[in-house]
């Protein structure tokens, strides 16, 4: 029997112990090259969390100097001014092929149209009987423009455009620089089309710290957004409270939930589309047929043969696998339990299955709606909850860039009617100053 990269397990119990067992991303062993770089930089071996803590403290004390030192050290980039000039961004448009520029514009337009519509269905201000709320966008958002070796203009668009639709006044981007100190032109084009107003050469934990504290060059923001590597994720975790964060994003993951009606070649293609992102990605097939699982495994091997990022994709495929469920009910239950970032439904009646899904970052319903369309041009932001956080979290939306303020504007009649209850409760809690605040008002009326 041919060996396959896509391991196949049968039954829910075996799946929970293997394919559907994520483990803790934060506990993952750093690659040898990264560990060597850490030891050389800091003079001793450190964990990822310790590295981030040191960087944050250095940026707090030194500002720009620490941001530049660490960014250039880890990116291998030449010295360059911290802020990207508008002339550099103008020039980037002439460096991008016309057909690719058209594709980025098309993507930005689609994502913008969706999020403008989404804003209309988001929280709305109201006042009723003196009580209500007002809705305000945050004033300044920081966008982490992820990607260095792999350029990801789509992430810039999918992170920044919802901020524009929400009405954020100022959007600041931070990005890794290339070896010559420049920023990839495709990233700069995407930043302008997405509505990012200022772009700075800063990456990793040092960029997040700069956005949280503010430096001589980089303005302090209210909240930071966007996915990144483990150092970016840990920086968000450690800086939360100093600055708002959207979420903690781990490696990408996709579940393809299929029955024996699904095309094995399309299931394999969808798994590999996510696998090629990152060796730590987790592509999973949940199917109701062992024969279908084997057919998909064969297709995965065939398609891996000529994939440009084949080594990365193979490593990710080996982290994931195929689960053979007893029936569709068990398949749906396992998918809900795993709560994946992306859940692709390729069954005989995908709409009926969708009605039973409780936990997923994004649902991709039917063979005409592959997850890759969501990555680029479908419309909703592709920044989605990972690591099972879809049990309680949502994809990035305009709501993440908004905040509400409760309003209380009661009349004297209201005060007389409800005040005595407040005073009684305050005295029961031993808060006589609270009670007096009400009682003085009631005595004077």
Same domain, 127 and 268: no
Distance, in Å, from the CA atom of 418 to the CA atom of 421, rounded to the nearest integer, reads 6
Same domain, 205 and 284: no
Same domain, 308 and 265: yes
Tell me whether strands 244-245 and 253-258 are parallel, antiparallel or unpaired.
unpaired
**pLDDT at residue 23 in the model:** 72
Q: What is the pLDDT of residues 359-379, one digit of tens each?
A: 999 999 999 999 999 999 999
Same domain, 100 and 186: yes
Q: 387 pLDDT exceeds 90?
A: yes
Considering the entire predicted model, what is its pTM? Answer: 0.93
Using the 3D structure, point to which of 245, 268, 293 is the last residue of a domain: 245
Distance, in Å, from the CA atom of 360 to the CA atom of 343, rounded to the nearest integer, reads 6
The residue from 253, 276, 341, 367 that is catalytic is 341
Q: What is the pLDDT of residues 156-181, one digit of tens each?
A: 999 999 999 999 999 999 999 999 99
**pLDDT at residue 61 in the model:** 97
Q: What are phi and psi of 133, to 5 degrees?
A: -155, 155
Please count the structural domains in the chain. Answer: 3
**pLDDT at residue 1 in the model:** 45
Q: 435 pLDDT exceeds 70?
A: yes
CA 228 to chain centre: 8
Determine, yes or no, domain membership for 77: no
Q: What is the pLDDT of residues 125-147, one digit of tens each?
A: 999 999 999 999 999 999 999 98
| In the block, residue with structure tokens 């890759």 | 372
Determine, yes or no, domain membership for 299: yes
Q: 29 pLDDT exceeds 90?
A: no
Same domain, 148 and 188: yes
Beta-bridge partners for 321: 284
Determine, yes or no, domain membership for 404: no
Determine, yes or no, domain membership for 396: no
Same domain, 263 and 357: yes
Residue of 228, 216, 255, 223 lying closest to 239 (CA atoms): 223
Determine, yes or no, domain membership for 31: no
Q: Write out the two tokens for 27.
A: 């506990």
Using the 3D structure, point to which of 245, 275, 299 is the last residue of a domain: 245
Same domain, 102 and 184: yes
DSSP 378: S
Active site annotation includes 62: no
Using the 3D structure, point to which of 245, 278, 306 is the last residue of a domain: 245
CATH of the domain at 135: 3.40.50.1980
Determine, yes or no, domain membership for 221: yes
Same domain, 190 and 267: no
Same domain, 314 and 369: yes
Q: What is the mean pLDDT of the chain?
A: 95
The residue from 342, 367, 371, 382 that is catalytic is 342
Domain residues for the domain of 317 are 8-25+251-390
Q: Write out the two tokens for 22.
A: 């994520």
Determine, yes or no, domain membership for 170: yes
Maximum alpha-carbon separation in the chain: 90
Q: What is the pLDDT of residues 306-362, one digit of tens each?
A: 999 999 999 999 999 999 999 999 999 999 999 999 999 999 999 999 999 999 999
Same domain, 261 and 218: no
Active site annotation includes 57: no
Same domain, 167 and 270: no
Helix H, strand E, coil C: the string for 298-310 is HHHHHHHCCCCCH
Same domain, 201 and 280: no
**pLDDT at residue 32 in the model:** 85
Determine, yes or no, domain membership for 418: yes
């Amino acid at each position: 029997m041919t060996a396959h990269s896509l391991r196949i397990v049968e039954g829910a119990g075996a799946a929970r112990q293997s394919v559907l067992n994520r483990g803790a991303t934060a506990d993952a062993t750093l690659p040898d090259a990264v560990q060597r770089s850490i030891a050389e930089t800091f003079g001793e071996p450190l964990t990822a969390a310790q590295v981030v803590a040191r960087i944050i403290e250095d940026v707090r004390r030194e500002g720009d100097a620490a941001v530049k030192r660490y960014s250039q050290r880890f990116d291998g980039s030449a010295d360059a001014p911290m802020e990207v000039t508008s002339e550099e961004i103008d020039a980037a448009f002439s460096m991008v092929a016309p057909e690719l520029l058209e594709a980025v514009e098309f993507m930005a337009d689609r994502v913008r149209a969706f999020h403008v519509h989404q804003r209309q269905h988001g929280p709305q201000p109201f006042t009723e009987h003196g009580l209500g709320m007002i809705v305000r966008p945050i004033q300044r958002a920081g966008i982490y423009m992820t990607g260095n070796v792999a350029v990801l203009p789509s992430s810039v668009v999918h992170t920044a455009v919802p901020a524009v639709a929400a009405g954020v006044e100022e959007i600041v981007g931070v990005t890794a620089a290339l070896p010559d100190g420049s920023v990839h032109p495709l990233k700069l084009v995407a930043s302008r089309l997405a509505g990012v107003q200022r772009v700075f050469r800063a990456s990793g934990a040092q960029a997040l710290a700069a956005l949280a504290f503010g430096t001589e060059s980089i303005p302090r923001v209210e909240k930071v957004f966007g996915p990144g590597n483990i150092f970016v994720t840990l920086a968000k975790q450690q800086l939360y409270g100093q600055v708002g964060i959207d979420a903690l994003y781990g490696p990408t993951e996709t579940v393809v939930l299929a029955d024996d009606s699904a095309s094995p070649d399309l299931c394999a293609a969808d798994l590999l589309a996510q696998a090629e992102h990152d060796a730590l990605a987790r592509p999973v097939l949940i199917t109701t047929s062992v024969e279908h699982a084997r057919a998909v495994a064969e297709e995965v091997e065939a398609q891996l043969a000529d994939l440009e990022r084949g080594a990365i994709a193979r490593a990710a495929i080996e982290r994931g696998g195929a689960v053979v469920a007893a029936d569709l009910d068990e398949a749906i239950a396992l998918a809900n339990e795993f709560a994946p970032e992306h859940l692709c439904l390729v069954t005989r009646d995908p709409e009926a299955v969708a009605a039973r899904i409780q936990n997923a970052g994004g649902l991709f319903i039917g063979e005409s709606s592959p997850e890759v369309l969501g990555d680029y041009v479908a419309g909703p932001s592709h920044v989605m909850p990972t690591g099972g956080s879809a049990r309680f979290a949502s994809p990035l939306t305009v709501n993440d860039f908004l905040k509400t303020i409760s309003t209380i504007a009661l009349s004297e009649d209201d005060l007389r009617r409800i005040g005595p209850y407040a005073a009684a409760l305050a005295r029961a809690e031993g808060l006589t100053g609270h009670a007096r605040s009400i009682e003085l008002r009631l005595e004077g009326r």
